[in-house]
Chain A
Amino acid sequence: MEKGKGETFSLKKCPTGINGLDEMTQGGLPRGRTTLVYGGPGCGKTVLAMEFLYRGIMNYQEPGVFLAFEEPQKSLVTNFASMGFHLSEAIDKGKLLIDFVKIDPAEITEAGDFNLDPVFIRLEQAIQKTGAKRVAIDTIETIFSALTKVEKLRSEIKRLFQWLSEKGMTAIVTGEEGRNEATKYGLEEYVSDCVIVLDNRIREQVSKRRLRILKYRGSSHIADECPFLISSNGFSVLPVTSLELNHPAGNERISTGVSDLDDLMSGLGYYRGSSILVSGTAGTGKSSIAAHFVEAACKRNERCLYLSFEESVDQIVRNMKSIKIDLSPYIENGLLTIKSERTSTLGLEEHLLKLHRLIEDQSPKVVIMDPITNFFSVGNFTEVKNMLTRILDFLKQHEITGFFTSLTEPDNSREQTTVGISSIMDTWIVSQDYQDKNEKKRILYLLKSRGMGHSRAIKEMHITPEGVKLTKPHFNLERDKLDDN
């Protein structure tokens, strides 16, 4: 952030109302200026441009004008209806005006010099009729298909952008990605304030959309390439990290639901709003520890969201009943929501977005994800870690306690994975099998727990019909037999 003495003017911003974009731009697009949004075919530039207008109308009482060069009003209205954008309503109320500039090269012959005054006249008319504050032009480059005087067109387009600024319009103009230049006809030369690039790559049959703010004059912004989605709610950008790490860090402690485990944490349990990782091989009681935590939260009358990537709701409820945890009353009274879904049905970004929606919808105090290692079927380590970082960020901002399980392989082939993920967690509990002579035991210990005094004792874990108990090991523990540490 640049905030020097020399900064005498403050750049006014125009919030887009688009999920995540205002965070990336630290408040929105430059007000009264033109922003260029460009990318290849199908990258979502039309959606971004239209949503900017639609959110302006719905959230900020700012009418808008959409100058369409590619699609007539009817098809825009139909396409956007599937995203829940009621364009026709906005049009009927006089808040939105779509002017389709039909350019049919087949009926046009070019003679001598010309200018684009009629485009200005049309915009002027539309701005007057609606009282517009926002304008979207999608995409004016179409005009180059009908007319050959490129230099003339470019100077006219430049004049148009200047005129929009003089009119005080906050505008988005879209452009088609070029081969050598950013855009085919060099529109970027005339837009000096803000340029956004969209990208749609297909990898392993999954489309990966990315948004990047190429430049934003006079404003700090997130410069990272960030994933975005176009879903039934329109555009959502998912910033990789928040600009400021100002999560509320409370001192409130909440019980783990296992009193012996609380004891390892000064008898107090986890910090509210922290992140907890429980790692272990299959059958080491990770889900049981999760269920205890869920039950404890429900008993405190807190909403819980349990995302299971392996077991069905019925399986979870049945299994936990065997250790005297009855979750069904909480499901019935709505305190607990269990969602069971295979990770492979969605891409990572869809998972993230879905989680955002669920959290906004349900406002839980506790979120369980069991197990997060299943995400590695959808993305590589860096991608999964990035996603988890964003989830943790989001949970922390909402003071939600996040509880994650991680499945490790008996041969430790995934150890690095768990270690890598644990770095972003506040608390890391390891539960694992321990071979004691001829008997298999379970042990549990707290490998780390940020910000609290905690016991480093290694406990033997018993999964009993009364729930999870931790005791002093009833066997001679050899530390060098432990996988971690």
Chain B
Amino acid sequence: MENEQHKSIILKLYIAGTTEKSQAEAERLQEVCENHFPGKYKIEVIDLLERPQLASDEQIFAVPTLVRDLPLPVRKVIGDFSNVEKALVGLDLLPRSH
């Protein structure tokens, strides 16, 4: 296991209940990140139904929300992302003219 402190990109995907769609999205996200930032990223999928307190702690008000915790400042993409690249552009992780 790699040390988390070496990860320069930390992404959290907040969902409310696991669905096939949300699972597929999480997998696709993993795939794209592996392509672009191998070894530098960490993705955490958080189901708010299991950890409800995190909704207020992390200021989540809609799902799905993909949060870029690192690098700072925090960025959020709200809503389904069929196009992962586009979501990563929204998080300023990929350049706009990709």
Q: Which A residues fall within an 8 A CB radius of B?
A: 99, 101-103, 107-119, 121-122, 124-125, 143, 146-147
Contacts and interface: CB of A to CB of B under 8 A. Distances in A.
A84 B82 CA distance: 52
A115 B17 CA distance: 12
Contacts of A99: 56
B56 A125 contact: yes
Given A121-B52, A125-B56, A101 B61 contact: yes
Given A111-B77, A115-B16, 6 more contacts: A101-B61, A109-B77, A110-B79, A114-B78, A114-B80, A117-B17
Max chain B C-beta neighbours (<10 A), residue from A107, A118, A146 = A118
A109 B14 CA distance: 15
Contact of A116 (B61, B74, B81): B61
Nearest to B17: A117
Interface residues of B, number: 30
B10 interface: no
B26 interface: no
Contact of B61 (A113, A125, A143): A143
Contacts of B17: 117
A116 B62 contact: yes
Given A107-B76, A110-B78, A121 B55 contact: yes
Interface in B11-68: 14, 16-17, 48-49, 52-53, 55-56, 59-65
In terms of DSSP, what is the predominant structure of the interface of chain B? Answer: loop
Contacts of A146: 78
B28 to A, nearest CB: 13
B10 to A, nearest CB: 15
Contacts of B64: 114
Contact of B48 (A113, A114, A121): A121
Contacts, number: 82
Given A99-B56, A101-B59, A118 B48 contact: yes
A122 B90 contact: no
B61 A118 contact: yes
20 contacts: A99-B56, A101-B56, A102-B59, A107-B73, A107-B74, A107-B75, A110-B79, A112-B80, A112-B81, A114-B79, A115-B63, A116-B62, A118-B16, A118-B48, A118-B55, A121-B16, A121-B48, A122-B61, A125-B55, A125-B56
A111 B52 contact: no
A111 B49 contact: no
Given A109-B77, A113-B80, A114-B78, A125 B63 contact: no
Contact of B79 (A111, A124, A125, A143): A111
A110 B76 CA distance: 8
A86 to B, nearest CB: 23
Contacts of A108: 76-78
B49 A121 contact: yes
Contact of B80 (A103, A111, A122): A111
Contacts of B52: 121-122, 124-125
B9 interface: no
Contacts of B91: 109
A348 B35 CA distance: 72
Nearest to A102: B59
B61 A103 contact: yes
A103 B49 CA distance: 21
B33 to A, nearest CB: 16
Contacts of A109: 75-78, 90-91
B56 A114 contact: no
A118 B53 CA distance: 10
Contacts of B79: 110-114
B64 to A, nearest CB: 7
A421 B30 CA distance: 80
A99 B59 CA distance: 10
Nearest to B74: A107
B55 A122 contact: yes
A118 B56 CA distance: 8
A109 B89 CA distance: 10
A445 B45 CA distance: 89
A118 B62 contact: yes
A113 B21 CA distance: 12
A147 B17 CA distance: 22
Contact of A114 (B62, B75, B86): B62
A115 B64 CA distance: 8
Contacts of B81: 111-112
A125 to B, nearest CB: 5
B62 A115 contact: yes
A117 B74 CA distance: 21
B62 A122 contact: no
A119 B86 CA distance: 26
Query: Which residue among B55, B76, B81, B91 has the maximum number of chain A CB atoms within 10 Å of its CB?
Result: B55
A115 B48 CA distance: 13
Contacts of B14: 118
